Structure 1
Amino acid sequence: MPTRPDETRPILAQLRQRIERLERSSGRARDVLPFGLADLDRRLPGGGLALGALHEIAGGGNGAVDGAAASLFAAGIAARSKGKVIWCVTRHDLFAPALAQAGLLPDRLIHVECGDEKSLLACFEEGLRHGGLSAVVAEVARLPMIASRRLQLAAESSGTIGLALRRWRRQSEAADFGQPTASVTRWRVSVVPTEPLPVPGVGRPRWLVELIRCRAGDSADFEVEACDGQGYLALSAKVANRPAAKEIGRRFAVA
């Protein structure tokens, strides 16, 4: 007995969804969010930060100062994603005016306070699966492989970018940042001295941004000026004006 067309439509729709998920997981149909810096974007597969993927960000070795820079780096990425953003925390120290300076305005930000790391990871995953958000940021101390795989799959299913902002209460927890995870990229941000100005004043903050892991790509490090009001980085004048042959240091990333 022949199958009626209205009976096959749900099956075809399910098959299309499965194919789309497989394409996203293989990287063939993944959209990207460019940084707007050619030197940085060309080091990333597809020319930008992969959407529908999990990315890790941490501060360098200068405690709260570098941690704040890492938060602003994440805020700049979220600001450029053009949609509602969830920011999950376990501490009560998120400073909205600083995020706004990096382009992430309060009317786009949904602040979620969690009681512990377990609840935070659950909120992180639910936010990524929602499908109506442009980015989800979560301040996590530990990121086990199993949890990171769940987050990566959740991001792939919705196309939402996930930013795991690594923060530690104790220095001993920082060693967890070197453990394997399912994240597509891993970044480390450190504060460096600002460029001297020709007149008295404070220059634009500068960061050393290290891409220390990139799936299917190279690692690299960049000296950049901090995010502007739209979330964009800029090459510092010293780097931008030097000969192109003198590339910023790079090393091959372990995927």
Structure 2
Amino acid sequence: MPNPASSPAIAELRERIAHLEGPGGRARSVLPFGLKDIDRRLPGGGLALGCLHEVAGGGNGAVDGAAAALFVAGIAARTRGKVLWVVTRPDLFAPAIAQAGLQPDRVIHVEAGDEKALLACFEEGLRHGGLGAVVAETARLSMTASRRLQLAAETSNTIGLALRRWRRQTEAGDFGQPTASVTRWRVSVLPSRPLPVPGLGRARWLVELIRCRAGESADFELEACDDTGRLALPSEVADGSPQKEIGRRIASR
């Protein structure tokens, strides 16, 4: 008789359980988005704490890059404690991330001289253990560096958010390379919903979960973070499928 322990299904189940467990076999705590359509796609029902996650803009422009930064700010805003935000370019705009719920008095802003120094600050912040989240804006992230960051996050149970930014097209291709991150996200700007009066409606994003360890990829049409860091599902997107809604819009033109 075949040994049940050698079954591929059993092996896959054990791997999924191992991914859900932290050091010492304890279940990892998570940070839910508060939206069933997203949380049900994530193992444990939310973003795993004590892990590394990657976020990038959907295109190469500044608009999608800003949306990705606000998406990250909304996640960090929903953690407890100070947030370390490390950059190499001095362009972090505090009023914008405050609108996504991350108030300036919670942010420790560090300007690193180069990518090497940035990654060192990122790792040290994750190992500290007294922070709610650590955000680092980086162009490149190798497998070796990401493994060090993932290990540091596991040690302190602090969430690490790698905000991928690049200055040139050649750096953008690095985002597709394998890393040790638990999830990888891409955020693109969509037209906001028209208002019955002159003005701009709440910003909308196409948020793509393009990699999820022990989970599946998915994408969502969402309303941008409010001043508490919360996302919202547009009322007309009832089935959680942004492709269908976008297809209906195109067909109606």
How far the C-alpha of 1:27 sits from its partner, in A, is 7.1
TM-fit CA distance, 1:50: 0.3
TM-score, normalised with respect to structure 1: 0.85
| 2:137 is the alignment partner of 1:131 | no
Give the number of aligned pairs: 225
1:43-99 C-alpha deviation (Å, 9 max, x unpaired): 000000000000000001151000000000000000001210000000010000001
Question: How far is 1:198 from its partner?
Answer: 1.4
Q: Flag the 1:27–1:96 CA change in 2: closer, same or farther, 3 A.
A: farther
Are the equivalent residues in 2 in contact too, given 1:220–1:248 (CA < 8 A)? Answer: no
**Residue deviations 1:156-206 (CA, integer Å, cap 9, x gap):** 000000000000011110000000000000000000000111121110000
Q: Which amino acid aligns with 2:93?
A: F
Which of these residues, 79, 96, 99, is aligned with residue 98 of structure 1? 96
Give the one of 202, 205, 212 matched to 1:204: 202
Q: What pairs up with 1:180-191 in 2 under 5 angstroms?
A: 180-191=178-189
Gaps (5+ residues) in structure 2?
A: 1-19, 244-253
Q: Look up the equivalent residue of 2:186 and give its one-letter code.
A: R
2:160 counterpart of 1:162:
yes
Percent sequence identity over aligned pairs: 79
CA contact (8 A) 1:43 1:218 kept: yes
What's the counterpart of residue 10 of structure 1?
Answer: none
Change (3 A) 1:172 1:42: same
TM-score by length of 2: 0.86
The 3-state SS of whatever aligns with 2:215 is coil
Which of 60, 76, 79 is residue 77 of structure 2 equivalent to? Answer: 79
C-alpha distance in 2 between matches for 1:132 and 1:138: 17
| Equivalent AA in structure 2 for residue 30 of structure 1 | R
Question: Runs of 4 or more off by more than 2 Å in structure 1?
Answer: 25-28, 246-249
SS in 2 for 1:132: coil
Alpha-carbon separation, structure 2, partners of 1:104 and 1:35? 15
Contact 1:58 1:189 in 2 (8 A): yes
Residue in 1 aligned with 2:33?
35
Deviations 1:193-231 (A, max 9, x none): 001111211100000000000000011000000000000
- SS of the aligned residue for 2:173 comes to helix
Quote the Cα distance in structure 2 between the aligned partners of 1:38 and 1:26. Answer: 29
Match of 1:148 among 132, 146, 149: 146
Match of 1:252 in 2: none
Which one has a bigger Cα radius of gyration?
Answer: 1
**How far is the alpha carbon of 1:237 from its aligned partner?**
2.1
Per the alignment, residue 226 of structure 1 pairs with: 224
Q: Which amino acid aligns with 1:193?
A: P
